[in-house]
Structure 1
Amino acid sequence: MDMKLLILDRDGVINHDSDAYIKSLEEWIPLPGAIEAIARLSRAGWTVAVATNQSGLARGYYDLPTLEAMHARLRQMVAEQGGEVGLIVHCPHGPDDGCDCRKPRPGMLKAIAAHYGLPLAGVWFVGDSSGDLEAARAVDCQPVLVKTGKGQRTLAKTLPAGTLVFEDMAAVADHLLS
């Protein structure tokens, strides 16, 4: 079975990001075209997984049931358009916890690969931050930057060699489905 896997960061790629964190279901607002893009990819046979740093859990800004409600909303919205969201993994730790999962470390990407029994080499990891791109490079994923979220700020920095750049998730889907 030749499975097509795509891994996405969440905040700033799928939904609006905030420097004050996304702390409630009300604050979880999809970016224009993102839900449609995920559904289109899913309908075309792509498995779309998500790897998201959620240090707000460690900081006490929201709890796990709140995070799970956001992800249930994401799944529901994509399902309404005939698609599905694959595995969602999150890092609950703070930046000083020394975990292996918080991007730029690639632990979450490895967990997704293990779940699906797939090698990560060449798999696209779409993010909006340097940490996303560095996590991708660490496991030989294809780093992909979208200009949504922190993407414009990230674009101003030095990007890892070979990084692909797109306007948003809709443009990523257009490219993969063309």
Structure 2
Amino acid sequence: MLTWLDRNVDFKYVLKVDDDSFARLDVMEKELRQRNGETLYWGFFHGDAKVPKEGPLEDRDWLLCDRYVPYALGGGYVLSADLVHYIAANVDSLKLYRSEDVTVGAWLGPLDIKREHDVRFDTMNHSRGCSNQYLVTHKQSEKEMRKKHNQLKTRGRLCETEYRKAKSYVYDWEVLPSQCCKKKRGII
């Protein structure tokens, strides 16, 4: 997909989302226009993920270390055009791993780029709830997406009622990845 985009589409940024993610394209477009084409890897980052050694998500090919390198969770993230071009130009020598989001994180790992962790990306393997500030909300049914869309159209907000099902965290880029992601109260 990224190689095709690089060869066929003129863009500054691409938002990759799963088909069960609801995205606030209006808000994201406004924010991205202000960035003026800067190099960017933007999403909700995970840095202390253990590599599954058994079960349906088993990843036998990951041999770099006992944990994945920091990566933006696959429910939704943004890449700038220059990063997409880098991937497309090197695709033949880059190794694929079990998960696309882990793979992109590994491919971009050694690059000196801006990785922006944003709690407004609700992109874990389960939704953290509903916040009017969310840009991307993962694990949504068609019914939930329609409800969010209608709420935005009729009331100008994403959630009928805001609620939290799980804690979030602010990624701490000053510590080792194994210490990066301590869940805290009060963060959307």
Greater Cα radius of gyration, structure 1 or 2: 2
Q: TM-score w.r.t. structure 2 length?
A: 0.29
Q: TM-score w.r.t. structure 1 length?
A: 0.31
Structure 1 or 2: more helix by fraction: 1
